Amino acid sequence: MDDIHYREYKILLRPERFFDPHQFEVYWHKLGLIAPEFKVGVTTNKDGFKRHVREVLFYDTPDYNLYRHAFILRKRTFYTDGWPDPEHELTFKFRHADFDTAASVDVTPHLSGTANIKFKEELLPLKDSLGGMRSLYSHNCVLLSPGLILDEGLERISRVFPAIGERCDSHNDDKVSLVNNLPVEEVQVNVGSFDFGHGLVAKATIAVWRDRATESSIIGEFAFQAKFDRYDQLHAKARTRSEEFFKAIQNEAPEWVQLGTTKTSLVYNFGKQLAESHE
């Protein structure tokens, strides 16, 4: 449960850069020019710029009881040819800057069905300057179409995810609803992959989040994720190459980068005062 098997590198992108769909290609082209400097192999998927649309909804109590205690509860619905798929994805996540704190939280649900449990290190730019790197650690539980009604209240949800009751100030009458009444429309391209050598390969995506009500862009994100068997067996040269490439992307395309936040934080602070978080 406390072994890291994923490293995901994330850079938030300025929403105003996504004024038309071809901007996905423009940014990917920039990355392709940077990669050879670091001997990073680049592969573009055959359908790499096919746009996938999902609806993303965050749920919490009015006082953000979950988020204040480093939990994230998110529902994602996929669309095919403009129509929602019958199945959806529910993610319950504990994310924290301290490795030991994140590793200690068991997100296993008390619910029938298959749960996909992942422990990830997320690499982000520094909050206030380009060219740096910081880590968040997240324990993720992903469920496919669970029979859980999210507005039943926190007490019901905490029976499914006992970790909530262990860390949150849970009360039987805590209501749960859509955070800031903000449905997010996510448009993502699964654009390709990077090869850092020595078996370290990462899948890359570019996405933009929009306010579904107004169709205005909230934030973009570039990410690449590598999966491996053992964190302590990552090849030192490949790991260093991936990190230097991550830093160079920030410095060599600064006009694209938005510092100081995460996508989740933006949703929680949408039109309101800052919400306390561990991000």
pLDDT per residue over 186-226, tens digit each? 999 999 999 999 999 999 999 999 998 888 899 999 999 99
Per the CB < 8 A criterion, the answer to whether 255 and 72 are in contact is no
DSSP element (H, E) containing 217 = strand 217-227
Determine the pLDDT at residue 170.
Answer: 67
Q: What is the DSSP secondary structure assignment for residue 21, as one 8-state letter?
A: T
Q: What is the DSSP secondary structure assignment for residue 211, as one 8-state letter?
A: E
The single residue listed with the structure tokens 């850092």 is 196
The single residue listed with the structure tokens 């909230």 is 218
| CA geometry: angle 247, 248, 253, nearest 5 deg | 115
114 CB neighbour count, 10 Å cutoff: 7
Alpha helical stretches, state H, 127-235: 154-160, 162-167
pLDDT, mean of residues 32-40 = 96
Contacts of 111 (CB under 8 A, 6+ apart): 143, 146, 147, 148, 160
DSSP element (H, E) containing 236 = helix 236-252
- Cα 78 to Cα 87: distance, rounded to the nearest angstrom: 8
Give φ, ψ of 263 to 5 degrees: -60, -45
Determine the pLDDT at residue 36.
Answer: 96
Res. 83: pLDDT tops 80: yes
Angle between helices 236-252 and 23-34 (to 10 degrees): 130
Residue 125 φ/ψ region, left for φ over 0, alpha for ψ in the -120 to 50 degree band, beta for the rest: beta
Average pLDDT, the chain: 92
Rounded to two decimals, what is the model's pTM? 0.94
Task: Delimit the domains of the chain by residue range.
Answer: 6-268
At 120, list the tokens: 């990830």
